[in-house]
Amino acid sequence: MFRLTQDVKMKPRRYSPIRLFGSLRRAEKTLERSRVRAEREYRPLYKDGRANALERAEAVALEKLAEAEHVDPNQLNEDQAKVEAGFWDKVKKVARQLPFLDDLLASYFAMRDSNTPIQARAALVFGLLYFLWVFDIIPDFLGVIGYADDGTVLTTIIMQVGAAITDEHRKQAREALGER
């Protein structure tokens, strides 16, 4: 097994546009295409300005809460399977950036609990799916800022279905975080 010691100095890798794209011109073209595409695709989301993005996130959550009243159990099971398939991988990647991690985990355990009312489970499934989406109202690749809308959606849902998240779910969340 190779071990790094103080004697070994690693040369930092430099990723210049030329190295990644072959030429500066190609890099500039790729960057410009990405910028134009992002502007075109996100313009409807920011039509009233970016400051209103969190208000839109809250409105989306309220719409989904209303839809949860008439949930199709088969669709709920499919969506829950999607959450379970990607949840822990994403949590591991971004846990340090999430100020709402304990609520996120408690919501996850409430969603998995068969005693949680189906409408509450459906709302929680949407909130957790929203967390898994990389491209939402504020894209997650923007770092901490990108999770502001995820936190807004989840908080809005928890405010409505909070009674469905029990002390046992919160205990499971603390245990998953390594707390007691």
Q: What is the pLDDT of residue 28?
A: 63
- 105 with 122: CB under 8 angstroms? no
Entry pTM? 0.64
Nearest partner of 132 among 108, 162, 157, 99, judged by Cα: 108
Q: What is the pLDDT of residue 95?
A: 80
Q: What is the pLDDT of residue 27?
A: 59
Q: What is the pLDDT of residue 6?
A: 42
| Nearby residues of 27 by Cβ (< 8 Å), 6 or more positions away | 17, 18, 20, 21
Q: What is the pLDDT of residue 92?
A: 85
Q: What is the pLDDT of residue 8?
A: 41
- 102 with 177: CB under 8 angstroms? yes
CA distances from 44 to 10, 38, 47, 50, 169 (A): 46, 11, 5, 11, 37
pLDDT beneath 70, residues of the chain: 1-51, 143-144, 179-180
